[in-house]
Structure 1
Amino acid sequence: MFKKPFPHPQKSKLKSSAQRAIRQRIATEFPLLAPHLDFIIPKKSQLDVLKLPDRISLYSLDGQVLFFQHFDDQLIPHLRIVHQYPDCFPIIQTDRGATRFILKGAHLMCPGLTSAGAKMVDGLEKGAVVGVKGEGKENACLVGIMKMTSEEIARINDGVGVEACHYLGDHLWKYVGE
């Protein structure tokens, strides 16, 4: 999603009602993150929305992007949020061979999740937001959306298992807001 540089985004401040709706949506979509919401988005702070082409919205606080979404789809956390609160997101692990492709922005294929060295979380549904780390790595290097359930990935073992949304070193990672 952020392989290519994006133009300077159009920035606007969110109304307090929209900000409350975003906080509520985050608490609903990521229930384990709900206790940390006051640290991530303090109640008296001002969230900004940055509009990019292709209807991508970045939600930022003090120049740091926290979440993003495409159209009105689900909110996806920035990789830095996943690094700060790794226990709040399902984290799956790929084998060593898939890591170099992930760091170039490739989608995660099912064989990279079922081979030796990979670890899959049971019970993940299609459309779930997951963090992906490489074998032997401490932190996640990709945030993506499950394209199949974890059971289908194990059974079918072919095709795209996780769609890459944001990865370490992409243009969103390098973005420094003002």
Structure 2
Amino acid sequence: MAIKVKKRNFLKKKKIKQIKNELGDYGSLLENKKNVEILEAEPNSFILVDGEPYIIIIDEKAFPTLKAALANAIDGKTVTVDMGAVRFVTNGADIMSPGIVAADEGIEPRDIVLIVDETHHKPLAIGVSLITGEEMVENDSGKAIETKHFVGDEIWNFEL
């Protein structure tokens, strides 16, 4: 499914502040940025920072993109998966507890989390936690994170 652009315009400071608050730990992506635009598209809209798609709106909730995570040092909540899980994560699978080797202690259900690999600590996906960070590491079975965006998906490959 291709991304179809409807319209593009600059955001007001009030709207930028609202999105920053919604992003929580990832709000630093919008700190002191001059050119912040919204690109209204089908099926998901983007927030462009200096022309780059740094934030995507999925189900009316803002998520950082992996391109933003790679381009910026962000202090968001992170979950580390073992190398055996990488193949599944990069194919869009949700993250299961057995593949998680580490997770930030402050992770709560419904938090936006960045999934990185164990060896290189490179971002692989962005998702929403279903359980706490402590439970992710302790559990031997079950789904821990719902994947929203991953390396190689249409969001990753999107270019203006």
TM-score, reference length from structure 2: 0.85
Q: Offset of 1:85 from its aligned partner?
A: 2.8
SS at match of 1:176: coil
Runs of 4+ in structure 1 deviating by more than 4 angstroms, as ranges, are none
Q: Which residue of 2 aligns with 1:142?
A: 125
Aligned-partner Cα distance in 2 for 1:174–1:80: 10
1:94 aligns with 2:81: yes
Identity %: 21
1:20 aligns with 2:14: yes
Q: Which residue of 2 aligns with 1:175?
A: 158
SS at match of 2:103: coil
Aligned-partner Cα distance in 2 for 1:29–1:67: 9
Aligned-partner Cα distance in 2 for 1:32–1:152: 23
Q: Which residue of 1 aligns with 2:70?
A: 83
Aligned-partner Cα distance in 2 for 1:28–1:164: 18
CA RMSD of aligned residues (A): 2.3
Aligned-partner Cα distance in 1 for 2:123–2:28: 20
- The one of 54, 66, 75 equivalent to 1:66 is 54
Q: Which residue of 1 aligns with 2:92?
A: 105
SS at match of 1:86: coil
SS at match of 1:81: helix
Q: Which residue of 2 aligns with 1:162?
A: 145
Aligned-partner Cα distance in 2 for 1:101–1:147: 18
Which structure is higher in strand share?
Answer: 2
Q: How many residues align?
A: 160
Q: Offset of 1:20 from its aligned partner?
A: 2.8
1:50 aligns with 2:19: no
Q: Offset of 1:109 from its aligned partner?
A: 0.6
Which entry has the higher C-alpha Rg, 1 or 2? 1
Structure 2: any 5+ residue segments left out of the alignment? Answer: none
TM-score, reference length from structure 1: 0.77
SS at match of 1:30: helix
Aligned-partner Cα distance in 2 for 1:120–1:46: 31
Structure 1: any 5+ residue segments left out of the alignment? Answer: none
Q: Offset of 1:36 from its aligned partner?
A: 6.0
Which structure is higher in helix share?
Answer: 1
